[in-house]
Chains A and B, each alone.
Chain A
Amino acid sequence: MSAAAPAAAAQAAIAAPDAARDFRIAFAIMTALLIAAPFVVYPVFLMQALCFALFACAFNLLIGYVGLLSFGHAMFMGFAGYIAAHLAKVGSIDFTLPLIGVGPHWRFGPLPPLVAIAAGVVCSALLGLLVGALAIRRQGIYFAMITLALAQMVYFFCLQAPFTHGEDGIQSVPRGKLLGIDLSVDLSMYFFVLAIFLTGFLLIYRIIHSPFGEVLKAIRENEARAVSLGYSVDRYKLAAFVLSAALSGLAGATKSLAMQNASLTDVHWSMSGEVVLMTLIGGLGTIFGPVVGAFVIIAMLQYLSPFGQWVTIMQGVIFVVCVLAFRRGVIGELAAVWRKSL
């Protein structure tokens, strides 16, 4: 019987590279498609879709791999978008108090795109730490409600703060230059966005397949048991929440540069709903699902826009069909058919 033990271990060692190979093939196909895409499809549309795809992947990290349903994720995307847009366009930090008119403020002028995006990511990570610390101890629907409530507060802040320009938003954000390459050319910007998307995507894959990710999965599967094994579950959840917030911020900051604007749409609660939809349609807890879901939803919004208000109803119908007919989402169903983990 002890001869069988090493055999089992060897089997485990074989099983892992198998899934890793599937991932590599799927990833190569996705990358190839995305490299070819801008020569066929309008790059600005693709950039938008890629940013939402990254956003959905970041959201999925939380719901799919930790089992936390955040209903306020738009706050991270939208807030980072404002920060990046403001720093890339104006470049100032101003804490002047409204009534007395004094307080620290600095003006340093427009920042290069990577710095502006990095600042957006840092801000959303800090926001994530704050929100997470308040919400993480709550379970299920209470967690969702607290994130929603806090997101509404961030929305209100973005509506009122001077630098966001309220209803107008921040328009004509310059994309700047990267290593001497002018990003105002759509195709150049597209490959910049693609690079960011792929980096974020691979990072999420790595998080899921790290020793840390293994504990997250254990928490998702049976939280009490994870506690009884000695894991401080709240700290793991908080770490995952901050990572998800930072990656959502990366998506939002990149999007505001790519689309050259930051507006209230991205911090609105309906955006938090949109990302739930993308993730569900693509496949909750699958690696590629959120990407597919984001492309489906963004394409719908784009190509069905002539129908105006009807789009919302069509989305609703698709959502219902999805939940009733293929609950695992597009990729989830494919993975089940092919018996692979995608």
Chain B
Amino acid sequence: MAGDIILRTQKLTREFKGFVAVEDVDLSIRRGTIHALIGPNGAGKTTCFNLLTKFLAPTRGQIFYKDRDITAAQPAAVARMGLVRSFQISAVFPHLTALENVRVALQRERGESFDFWRSRRVLAQWNDRAAALLDEVGLTEFAQTPAVNMPYGRKRALEIATTLALEPEMMLLDEPMAGMGHEDIDRVAALIKKIAAQRTILMVEHNLSVVANLSDRITVLTRGRILAEGDYATVSSDPRVQQAYMGSGH
């Protein structure tokens, strides 16, 4: 059932000066699911994300997105194909307002335009949709606040709104809950559940209760290799997984 798989990797490997951060990783992500990638610190999760979104070139291996080989694609091109990522540390445009942050993404609809002679007033056509997206993630009151002045949890929500603005078929979220308080975690978890209705999500997350609640399938990575894969019950009862987490102090 290859048609059911939206993203697939084959023997994906990345070395940093002899140190193998990701090794022979074969991932298959089913369309329309929430797939979690977990593992101790330094397991290679972020490196994996960087490889999938082409921010890093693999040393070996191949990546297929919607049955197309994207191993040699440019990162911006991958994003335009509908595979959009977020970052482990919050990635907003700090001196733009929340509304402007989202609008930068919406503006992509114009294609890659270089029309420097036109007034930015043309951007006003996206104000309503940007406001609606902010509303969706509960940021309406922050619309005119520069992102730099927003609380951390709200910045992460803003990132999700910005990513959503591209209406990506597949979202890669790198620790969307990291550094958040309880209240924020519940809100973002609900949000992810909601947006997952129409898209595929690959998510790195350390908060295991969130992972248990949200994900359809889990891949456990340790030292760059896949240790186990399956649903939460299968993975959490796997003695190797328990040991890997214990060994790293979790």
Contacts and interface: CB of A to CB of B under 8 A. Distances in A.
Given A210-B117, A229-B105, A5 B85 contact: no
Interface residues of B, number: 53
Q: Which of A209, A211, A212, A217 has the most CB of B within 10 A?
A: A211
Contact of B96 (A207, A221, A229, A232): A221
A16 B79 CA distance: 30
B115 A228 contact: no
Contact of A9 (B116, B120, B122, B131): B131
Nearest to B130: A9
Nearest to B140: A4
Interface in A208-252: 209-215, 217-218, 221-222, 224-233, 235-236, 239, 243
Given A11-B144, A213-B120, A229 B131 contact: no
How many A residues are at the interface, by size bracket? 35 or more
B69 interface: no
A13 B79 contact: no
Contacts, number: 143
A12 B104 contact: no
Contacts of A224: 55, 87, 91
Interface in B56-110: 74-77, 79-80, 84-87, 91-97, 99-100, 103-105, 107-108, 110
B219 interface: no
Contact of A228 (B87, B120, B124): B87
Contacts of B110: 211
B250 interface: no
B4 interface: no
A332 to B, nearest CB: 13
Contacts of A5: 128, 131-132, 134-135, 140
Is the contact region of chain A dominated by helix, strand, or loop, or is it mixed? helix
B92 A8 contact: no
Contacts of B210: none
A309 interface: no
B48 interface: no
A207 B116 contact: yes
Contacts of B84: 228-230
Contact of B116 (A4, A206, A217, A230): A206
B75 A9 contact: no
Nearest to A285: B95
Interface in A1-59: 1-2, 4-6, 8-9, 11-13, 15-16
A211 B124 contact: no
A207 B127 CA distance: 21
Contacts of B183: none
A13 B126 CA distance: 11
Q: Which of A4, A15, A225 has the most CB of B within 10 A?
A: A225
Q: Which of A12, A211, A229 has the most CB of B within 10 A?
A: A229
A269 B112 CA distance: 35
Contacts of B103: 214
A243 B143 CA distance: 32
Given A12-B144, A211-B122, A229 B87 contact: no
Contact of B107 (A6, A12, A214): A214
A62 to B, nearest CB: 13
B120 A214 contact: yes
Given A211-B107, A217-B96, A228-B53, A206 B91 contact: no
Contact of A227 (B76, B120, B124, B134): B76
10 contacts: A6-B128, A8-B99, A12-B143, A207-B116, A213-B120, A214-B100, A215-B104, A228-B53, A230-B84, A232-B77
Interface of A: 1-2, 4-6, 8-9, 11-13, 15-16, 203, 206-207, 209-215, 217-218, 221-222, 224-233, 235-236, 239, 243
Given A228-B53, A235-B114, 4 more contacts: A8-B131, A8-B135, A206-B116, A212-B115
